[in-house]
């Protein structure tokens, strides 16, 4: 019997809003999927698209960026820049075969612990459905030297050309 | 070192367009100095050298090998290993060997799709029997082999140890000459070489430093493809909505392209502290999209910004035009979707 | 090869963490990782014994980095940084892993929680290796203070600081200080005469040796940062030579032109073209309204100059630009009244006898255009019935959602004044809730109940002059649902007063940008913390007080202004202040002058040097958000304590269980 696939999602949370929202969710003992591992930044505007891509490359199945609602950014409008980068990044990642649901941007203010918890639950299920990304092995090739993407088990397209 | 006592030079082309070879000739009369100083022991483009010649050299026989072209197939990789073995200094010459360059853009698709396009679904192809290349084929005279076409294009340093990188597509003559000069002084006069792994023939600053166009604060409300507008000469192209990679690209070329109204394509590769040129360029260019402010409703905000993003048709191809092989993700995920392996 | 000696401390937090996470396992596992010199688990790391563990290990084992896996850094980062500092380790060589709020409290799955704890600890360990010692930056504080806005808040703050021996520049854009409070007649709930309690303070402020009053002046530019602001002020030309003017008022008397006074008289009365806003104006010098002055329009008249006994009129006078240094700034710019014309169904501007609250204040003021008499718009007839509509523009999704806090009280005050001056008149207050929270406020409400005011609980739907029923001819009819009896009512009255709400000044966004701080959706300036720090802003050195921070009454404005003054006085006394080193810096040598970063900073901390073709981050202005760091396409902006190296290694560490061996290629 197969163990259920547990996605690993890296979350970049901003110090003032979303990180505090996650703190609040914990303080309120709200139980939600443990699949998101948080990295604290001062502002979601600090999130360099390189970080998102690095996380995917290093084995994450999904990346969540969480910041303050537009208009409420502690640093006035860092989150607007985040949104701009995020929309362009999604478009580019789509070309690279990364599904939309694997990269998500969530707004949660410091008092919105439930909203953040729900977002994590939702994203965990969506990514679980998509399956593991496993970029190093699945995409770059498990060492046949030719850079062939490794076949997904039971995949009909796993043939040598 | 050759028997004559002169240092030896090799130049090999893997998966390339030949432009790097021409660039070496482009140093004009200085090529005579090259000829005088070096003994050319392997340069298939200009003279009849064979692989068995190289195999016959002792290890380290080649003082400097200028290796251009990306690693597309098994022959490219074999030659890379061979030349590494036989060379003291192996230079990844030009963008293809440094970071993948144009050949590496095929990493956005699959080997199958590439072969289909070239051999089957092409208006100028007449291939009714749908013959595709095979790595080995029996003929009455024996068995013929051709190299294996790889699924993923690699850069030179993804198959062998590289000593120096000389970026550019192609590298510019003054830079080529500068690098050759350094190497010549090192070999003939014992002058120090830069640390192993250095990028040579390029500057540690972005193209904007060399670009004479006027720069202001940036705020882009839509992107234009180069044929869509006539840019205002004298004014930064990026500010006018034309994607110019100059902000995220090493200088050293003299900013030739922006000066004639064409946005820099990024061929000199990323700057020192940047791991992924495409992602950095994306970050910078998206940051200065000039629409959306905090007082808008969330939906409206997203729509407005999305509208600008929609005017940039091919971010992956544009931002990773030269650096795909060296990027963090290196290729597109063709297994994406529902885990059923349906290629995108 | 190990680069650093990291001490890892995994806290049980009683059973808060240990009940879900196998803390011993995590500590053992951590001890096996690269760079980890020692790993312990302990019941309560934040206790003095827990902190001792850290301090002893630093001293005895020569630890160079410390990681504590426990609660949120928002709880105890400061505590553990303190422990490190006491043991001689730079506090920025410390990192926390949040395995409580983000982990043990958020899941019941013990296996997953332990796995996740390892990931978070590993991330912290990998990150802390790349952290470098950072020092807080000392900033010297210039003892002068700028206060912008000379209403009751500005005057209070100025006097508090000046009385404490500090020099203040008080800048006011109108010709006189006093603000809206000078327009009021009586103040609730004591019914003190507003001018009587305000004018002594105005005189104090005008005469105080430590206060430089710059009236009829506006701030043009603000440069610099906490402790070192350079302020540029435009002192607009009054066309009156202040040294020669005695304030005798003859010029005002002789001026032949009258115009409607839109500002002080709220459009209800007139003033001359050369005028003082009100008799007790401070300073006492009049000002010429150039837009309406015959001399400036047609070159004729000059009556004021002709009659001035001290030759103090100077038509050629120019605006003066002044520049000075200050250490701190307090913004007390006040509020604007909600424009009742935006609610057409109340008929303001269309129906003659609909008045706004400020108009009514001027009307009941003894020194006002009607001499304190309540008249209808014709200036003669006394109304027999008055309706007062609460919440005009407030508590309204169509206009402002917030409650303006003062309107219930001043509506009750109006009701009282009508009862007082027009005994026998009927007064109807249309309200939603009665908000009377202050000292003596509820009692005031009861007084009004006893005075026979009719209270109708229902938001007025409409004010109309279209009579339908008998008794409505020639009246204004207020239609409202009386929710307490569940019926629609039409009340015919002679006069309607609209209790318009408090709004942020129309140009508050521009002001906030000028001072590089934020304002919220409604335009009020944003405080640093809504509960615990209402006078500071996110920008160091800039404070706010009074209605510009949010609707409030006079006692609250005075309290907040005094608080801001105290905060500033504290800084002045300290003389030097230490600032957090989480800031950005640009490697100028590597900067190509691409200018991408120039629009990234909401604090305008990034400047471009044309001569050197490079951008620079002004350290003291930088708030450390890192937006520019992420945007720079050359990757040459460093975000101290949140560098790329640190975050990338954190990413690698956090993915410890899903990372694969990298392809074995040379040079990787």
DSSP state of C101: I
Q: Concatenated DSSP letters for B42-95? A: E-TTTS---HHHHHHSPTT-EEEEEEESBEEEHHHHHHHHHHHHHEEEEEEEHH
- CA–CA dist B320, B332 (Å, integer): 12
Which of C626, C642, C648 comes nearest A54 by C-beta? Answer: C648
| Rg of chain A taking only CA atoms, in angstroms | 17
Of B312, B176, B319, nearest to B253 (Cα)?
Answer: B176
**CA B281 to each of CA A49, B276, C576: distance values in angstroms, whole numbers, following the listed order:** 9, 9, 41
Does residue C520 belong to the interface with chain A, where contact is any CB pair within 8 Å?
yes
Residues of A with Cβ-Cβ distance to B336 under 8 angstroms = 97-99
* B334 Cα distance to chain centroid: 23
For B230, other C-beta atoms within 10 Å of its C-beta total 10
Residues B34-62 pLDDT 10s = 888 899 999 999 899 999 999 999 999 99
Using the beta-carbon criterion (under 8 Å), do C590 and B248 form an inter-chain contact?
no
C663 pLDDT more than 60 = no
Chains with ≥3 CB–CB distances under 8 Å to C:
A, B
Going from N- to C-terminal start, the domains of chain B cover 8-102+153-189, 207-313
Contact A106, A18 (CB under 8 A): yes
Which of B275, B298, B316 comes nearest A92 by C-beta? Answer: B316
CATH topology assigned to domain A9-160: Rossmann fold (3.40.50)
Residues of B with Cβ-Cβ distance to A104 under 8 angstroms = none
Using the beta-carbon criterion (under 8 Å), do A149 and B278 form an inter-chain contact?
no
Which of C590, C596, C613 comes nearest B247 by C-beta? Answer: C596
Residues B104-128 pLDDT 10s = 999 999 899 999 999 999 899 999 9
The label of the residue with tokens 């003659």 reads C352
Question: Quick one: CA torsion of B264, B268, B270, B271, rounded to 10 degrees?
Answer: -110
| Mean of all residue pLDDT scores within chain C | 94
Q: Concatenated DSSP letters for B83-124? A: HHHHEEEEEEEHHHHHH-TGGGGGGGS-HHHHHHHHHTS-TT
* CATH class of the region C6-128: alpha beta
- CA–CA dist A159, A142 (Å, integer): 14
Using the beta-carbon criterion (under 8 Å), do A70 and B275 form an inter-chain contact?
no
The pLDDT score that the predictor gives to residue A160 is 36
CATH topology assigned to domain C237-318: Alpha-Beta Plaits (3.30.70)
- CA–CA dist B168, C665 (Å, integer): 24
Contact C5, C64 (CB under 8 A): yes
* DSSP strand pairing (C426-431 vs C454-457): parallel
Which of C518, C624, C650 comes nearest A39 by C-beta? Answer: C650
C668 pLDDT more than 60 = no
Residues B205-258 pLDDT 10s = 999 999 999 999 999 999 999 999 999 999 999 999 999 999 999 999 999 999
Residues C157-184 pLDDT 10s = 999 999 999 999 999 999 999 999 999 9
The pLDDT score that the predictor gives to residue C191 is 93
A144 pLDDT more than 70 = no
Between chain A and chain C, the number of residue pairs with CB atoms below 8 A apart is: 148
Q: Which of C538, C634, C655, C662 to mutate to test the interface with B (most CBs of B within 10 A)?
A: C634
- B129: confidence class by pLDDT, cuts 50, 70, 90: very high
C599 pLDDT more than 80 = yes
Which of B328, B339, B342 comes nearest A53 by C-beta? Answer: B328
Using the beta-carbon criterion (under 8 Å), do C538 and A81 form an inter-chain contact?
no
Residues of A with Cβ-Cβ distance to B289 under 8 angstroms = 84, 88
Does residue B334 belong to the interface with chain A, where contact is any CB pair within 8 Å?
yes
Using the beta-carbon criterion (under 8 Å), do A152 and B339 form an inter-chain contact?
yes
The pLDDT score that the predictor gives to residue B98 is 96
How many residues make up chain B in this entry? 344
Helix (H) or strand (E) holding C107: none
A9 pLDDT more than 50 = yes
For C610, other C-beta atoms within 10 Å of its C-beta total 8
Superfamily the domain B8-102+153-189 falls into: NADH:ubiquinone oxidoreductase-like, 20kDa subunit (3.40.50.700)
Using the beta-carbon criterion (under 8 Å), do B341 and A155 form an inter-chain contact?
yes
Q: Which two tokens stand for residue B333?
A: 């995920």
Q: Which of A86-100, A137-151, C379-393, C562-576 has the lowest mean pLDDT?
A: A137-151
- Average pLDDT of the residues in C542-552: 97
**Model-level ipTM above the cut of 0.90:** yes
Percent of chain A with pLDDT over 90: 70
- C515: confidence class by pLDDT, cuts 50, 70, 90: confident
Of B136, B134, B132, B101, nearest to B117 (Cα)?
Answer: B132
Residues 6+ apart with CB under 8 A from B190: none
CATH topology assigned to domain C584-640: Alpha-Beta Plaits (3.30.70)
A157 pLDDT more than 70 = no
Q: Which of A22, A46, A60, A148 to mutate to test the interface with C (most CBs of C within 10 A)?
A: A46
- CA–CA dist B66, B113 (Å, integer): 32
Between residues 132 and 191 of chain B, which touch chain A (CB distance below 8 Å)? Answer: 148, 150-154
Contact C409, C416 (CB under 8 A): no
CATH 3.30.70.20, chain C: domain bounds: 584-640
Does residue A39 belong to the interface with chain B, where contact is any CB pair within 8 Å?
no
Residues B80-96 pLDDT 10s = 999 999 999 999 999 99
The pLDDT score that the predictor gives to residue C1 is 61
Using the beta-carbon criterion (under 8 Å), do A46 and C119 form an inter-chain contact?
no
- CA–CA dist C33, C24 (Å, integer): 15
CATH pick for C336-503 out of 3.40.50.11890, 3.90.1150.10, 3.40.50.720, 3.50.50.60: 3.50.50.60
Helix (H) or strand (E) holding C41: strand C36-42
Residues 6+ apart with CB under 8 A from A96: B108, B316, B329, B331, B332, B333
Residues of B with Cβ-Cβ distance to C663 under 8 angstroms = 158
| Mean of all residue pLDDT scores within chain B | 91
Contact C364, C179 (CB under 8 A): no
Q: Which of C517, C593, C594, C597 to mutate to test the interface with B (most CBs of B within 10 A)?
A: C594
Does residue C39 belong to the interface with chain B, where contact is any CB pair within 8 Å?
no
DSSP state of B327: S
Nearest CA in chain C to B273: C635
The pLDDT score that the predictor gives to residue C224 is 80
| Rg of chain C taking only CA atoms, in angstroms | 32
Q: Which of A5-9, B266-270, C534-538 has the lowest mean pLDDT?
A: C534-538
CATH 3.40.50.960, chain C: domain bounds: 6-128
Percent of chain B with pLDDT over 70: 97
CA angle, C468 then C472 then C474, to 5°: 115
Q: Which two tokens stand for residue C131?
A: 């952290």
**CA A124 to each of CA A1, B235, C521: distance values in angstroms, whole numbers, following the listed order:** 21, 47, 33
A153 pLDDT more than 60 = no
C117 pLDDT more than 70 = yes
Contact C287, C239 (CB under 8 A): yes
- CA–CA dist A36, A45 (Å, integer): 20
Which of C100, C631, C650 comes nearest A26 by C-beta? Answer: C100
The pLDDT score that the predictor gives to residue A70 is 86
Which of B158, B247, B273 comes nearest C594 by C-beta? Answer: B247
pTM of the model: 0.77
Does residue C600 belong to the interface with chain B, where contact is any CB pair within 8 Å?
yes
Does residue C626 belong to the interface with chain A, where contact is any CB pair within 8 Å?
yes
Nearest CA in chain B to A152: B341
For chain B, the straight-line distance linking the first and the last C-alpha, in angstroms and rounded, comes to: 51
The pLDDT score that the predictor gives to residue C604 is 83
Residues C406-426 pLDDT 10s = 999 999 999 999 999 999 999
CATH 3.50.50.60, chain C: domain bounds: 137-188+202-235+321-333+507-576, 336-503
Using the beta-carbon criterion (under 8 Å), do B282 and A149 form an inter-chain contact?
no
Q: Phi and psi dihedrals of C198, rounded to 5?
A: -85, -45
Using the beta-carbon criterion (under 8 Å), do A84 and B336 form an inter-chain contact?
no
A153: exposed, middle or buried (C-beta count within 10 Å: 0-12, 13-18, 19+)? Answer: exposed
Alpha helices in C492-553 (DSSP H): 508-514
Residues C310-350 pLDDT 10s = 999 999 999 999 999 999 999 999 999 999 999 999 999 99
- CA–CA dist A53, B327 (Å, integer): 9
Does residue C72 belong to the interface with chain A, where contact is any CB pair within 8 Å?
yes
Which of B206, B275, B280 comes nearest C592 by C-beta? Answer: B206
- Average pLDDT of the residues in C110-123: 97
Between chain B and chain C, the number of residue pairs with CB atoms below 8 A apart is: 92
Do you find a cis peptide bond into B170, omega within 30 degrees of 0? yes
Q: Which two tokens stand for residue B122?
A: 């092409």
Q: Which of C141-150, C187-196, C657-666 has the lowest mean pLDDT?
A: C657-666
Using the beta-carbon criterion (under 8 Å), do A46 and C642 form an inter-chain contact?
yes
CATH pick for C137-188+202-235+321-333+507-576 out of 3.40.50.1820, 3.50.50.60, 3.40.50.300, 3.40.50.150: 3.50.50.60
Report the DSSP beta bridge partners of residue C490: C479
Residues of B with Cβ-Cβ distance to A83 under 8 angstroms = 292, 301-302, 305
Does residue B72 belong to the interface with chain A, where contact is any CB pair within 8 Å?
no
Measured in angstroms, the CA of C172 and the nearest CA of chain A are apart by 27
Contact C93, C66 (CB under 8 A): yes
**CA C655 to each of CA A22, A23, A53, B175, C48: distance values in angstroms, whole numbers, following the listed order:** 20, 21, 13, 41, 33
Does residue B113 belong to the interface with chain A, where contact is any CB pair within 8 Å?
no
A158 pLDDT more than 70 = no
The pLDDT score that the predictor gives to residue C404 is 97
Using the beta-carbon criterion (under 8 Å), do A58 and C123 form an inter-chain contact?
no
- CA–CA dist C248, A38 (Å, integer): 71
Measured in angstroms, the CA of C360 and the nearest CA of chain B are apart by 34
Q: Which of A45-49, A147-151, C442-446, C447-451 has the lowest mean pLDDT?
A: A147-151
């Amino acid at each position: 019997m197969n163990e259920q696939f547990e996605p690993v999602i890296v979350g970049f949370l901003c110090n003032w809003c979303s990180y505090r929202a996650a703190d609040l969710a914990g303080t309120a003992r709200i139980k939600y999927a443990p699949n998101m591992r948080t990295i604290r930044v001062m502002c979601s505007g600090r999130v360099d698209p390189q970080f998102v891509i690095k996380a995917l490359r290093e084995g994450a199945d999904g990346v969540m960026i969480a910041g303050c609602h537009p208009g409420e950014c502690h640093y006035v409008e860092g989150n607007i820049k985040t949104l701009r980068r995020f929309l362009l990044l999604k478009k580019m990642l789509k070309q690279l075969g990364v599904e939309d649901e694997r990269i998500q941007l969530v707004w949660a203010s410091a008092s919105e612990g439930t909203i953040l918890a729900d977002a994590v639950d939702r994203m965990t299920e969506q990514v679980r459905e998509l399956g593991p990304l496993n970029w190093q092995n699945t995409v770059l090739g498990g060492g046949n030297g030719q850079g062939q993407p490794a076949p997904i088990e039971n995949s009909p397209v796993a043939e040598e050309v | 070192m050759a028997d004559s006592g002169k240092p030896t030079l090799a130049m090999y082309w893997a998966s390339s367009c030949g432009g790097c070879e021409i660039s070496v000739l482009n140093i004009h009369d200085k090529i005579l100095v090259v000829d005088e100083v070096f003994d050319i022991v392997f340069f298939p483009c200009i003279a009849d050298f064979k692989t068995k010649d190289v195999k016959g050299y002792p290890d380290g026989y080649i003082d400097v090998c200028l290796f251009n072209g990306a690693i597309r197939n098994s022959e490219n990789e074999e030659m890379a290993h061979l030349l590494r073995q036989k060379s003291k200094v192996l230079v990844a010459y030009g963008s293809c060997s440094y970071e993948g360059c144009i050949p590496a853009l095929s990493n956005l698709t699959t080997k199958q799709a590439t072969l289909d396009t070239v051999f089957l679904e092409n208006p100028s192809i007449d291939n009714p029997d749908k013959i595709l290349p095979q790595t080995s084929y029996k003929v009455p005279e024996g068995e013929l082999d051709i190299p294996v076409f790889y699924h993923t294009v690699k850069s030179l340093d993804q198959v062998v140890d590289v000593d120096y990188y000389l970026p550019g597509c192609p590298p510019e003559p003054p830079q080529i000459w500068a690098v050759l000069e350094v190497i010549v002084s090192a070999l003939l006069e014992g002058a120090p070489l830069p640390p192993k792994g250095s990028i040579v023939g390029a500057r540690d600053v972005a193209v904007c430093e060399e670009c004479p166009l006027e720069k202001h604060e940036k705020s882009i409300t839509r992107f234009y493809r180069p044929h869509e507008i006539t840019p205002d000469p004298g004014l930064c192209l990026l500010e006018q909505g034309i994607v110019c990679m100059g902000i995220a690209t090493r200088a050293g070329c003299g900013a030739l392209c922006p000066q004639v109204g064409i946005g820099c394509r990024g061929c000199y590769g990323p700057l020192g502290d940047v791991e992924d040129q495409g992602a950095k360029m994306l970050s910078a260019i998206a940051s200065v999209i000039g629409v959306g402010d905090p007082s808008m409703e969330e939906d409206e905000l997203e729509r407005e910004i999305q509208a600008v993003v929609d005017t940039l048709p091919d971010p992956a191809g544009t931002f990773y035009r030269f650096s795909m092989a060296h990027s963090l993700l290196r290729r597109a995920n063709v297994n994406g979707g529902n885990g059923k392996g349906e290629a995108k | 090869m190990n680069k650093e000696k990291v001490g890892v401390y995994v806290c049980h937090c009683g059973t808060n963490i240990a009940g879900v996470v196998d803390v011993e396992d995590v500590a053992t596992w951590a001890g096996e990782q690269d760079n980890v010199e020692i790993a312990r688990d302990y019941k309560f790391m934040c206790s003095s014994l827990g902190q001792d563990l850290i301090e002893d290990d630093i001293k005895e084992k020569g630890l160079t980095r410390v990681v504590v896996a426990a609660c949120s850094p928002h709880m105890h980062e400061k505590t553990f940084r303190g422990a490190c500092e006491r043991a001689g380790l730079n506090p920025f060589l410390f990192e926390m892993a949040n395995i409580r709020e983000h982990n043990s409290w958020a899941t019941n799955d013990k296996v997953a929680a332990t796995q996740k704890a390892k990931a978070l600890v590993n991330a912290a360990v990998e990150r802390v290796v790349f952290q470098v010692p950072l020092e807080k930056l000392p900033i010297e504080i210039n003892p002068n203070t700028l206060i912008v806005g000379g209403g009751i808040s500005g005057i209070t703050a100025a006097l508090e600081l000046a009385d404490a021996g500090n020099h203040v520049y008080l800048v006011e854009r109108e010709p006189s200080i006093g603000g809206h409070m000078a327009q009021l007649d009586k103040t609730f709930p004591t019914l003190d005469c507003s001018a009587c309690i305000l004018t002594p303070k105005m005189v104090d402020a005008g005469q105080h040796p430590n206060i430089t009053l710059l009236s009829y002046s506006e701030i043009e530019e603000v440069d610099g940062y906490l402790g070192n602001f350079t302020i540029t002020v435009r002192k607009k030309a009054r066309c009156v030579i202040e040294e020669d003017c005695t304030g005798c008022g003859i010029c005002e008397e002789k001026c032949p032109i009258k115009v409607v006074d839109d500002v002080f008289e709220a459009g209800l009365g007139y003033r001359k073209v050369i005028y003082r806003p009100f008799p007790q104006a401070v300073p006492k010098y009049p000002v010429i309204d150039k837009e309406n002055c015959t001399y400036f329009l047609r070159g004729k008249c000059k009556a004021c100059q002709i009659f001035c006994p001290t030759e103090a009129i100077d038509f050629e006078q120019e605006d003066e630009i002044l520049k000075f240094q200050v250490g701190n700034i307090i913004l007390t710019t006040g509020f604007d009244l909600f424009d009742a014309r935006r609610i057409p169904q109340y008929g303001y501007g269309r129906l003659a006898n609909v008045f706004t609250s400020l108009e009514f204040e001027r009307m009941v003021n003894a020194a006002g255009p009607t001499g304190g008499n309540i008249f209808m718009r014709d200036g003669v007839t006394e109304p027999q019935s008055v309706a007062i509509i609460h919440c005009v523009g407030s508590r309204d999704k169509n206009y402002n959602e917030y409650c303006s806090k003062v309107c219930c009280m001043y509506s009750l005050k109006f009701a009282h004044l009508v009862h007082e001056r027009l005994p026998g008149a009927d007064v109807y207050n249309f309200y939603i809730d009665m908000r009377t929270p202050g000292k003596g406020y509820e009692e005031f409400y009861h007084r009004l109940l006893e005075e026979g005011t009719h209270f109708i609980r229902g938001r007025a739907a409409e004010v109309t002059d279209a009579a339908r029923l008998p008794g409505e001819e020639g009246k204004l009819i207020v239609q409202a649902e009386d929710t307490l009896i569940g019926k629609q009512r039409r009340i015919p009255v002679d006069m309607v007063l609209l209790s318009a709400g408090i709004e942020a000044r129309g140009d508050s966004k521009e002001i906030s940008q000028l001072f590089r701080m934020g304002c919220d959706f409604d335009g009020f300036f944003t405080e640093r913390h809504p509960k615990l720090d209402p006078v500071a802003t996110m920008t160091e050195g800039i404070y706010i007080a009074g209605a510009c921070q949010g609707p409030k009454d006079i006692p609250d404005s005075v309290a907040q202004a005094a608080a801001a003054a105290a905060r500033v006085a504290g800084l002045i006394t300290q003389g030097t202040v230490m600032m957090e080193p989480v800031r950005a810096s640009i490697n100028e040598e590597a900067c190509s002058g691409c200018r991408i970063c120039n629009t990234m900073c909401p604090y305008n901390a990034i400047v471009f040097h044309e001569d050197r073709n490079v951008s620079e981050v002004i350290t003291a202005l930088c708030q450390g958000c890192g937006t520019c760091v992420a945007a720079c396409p050359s990757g040459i902006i460093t975000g101290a304590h949140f560098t790329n190296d640190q975050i990338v290694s954190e990413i690698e560490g956090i993915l410890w269980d899903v990372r694969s061996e990298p392809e074995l290629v040379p040079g990787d």
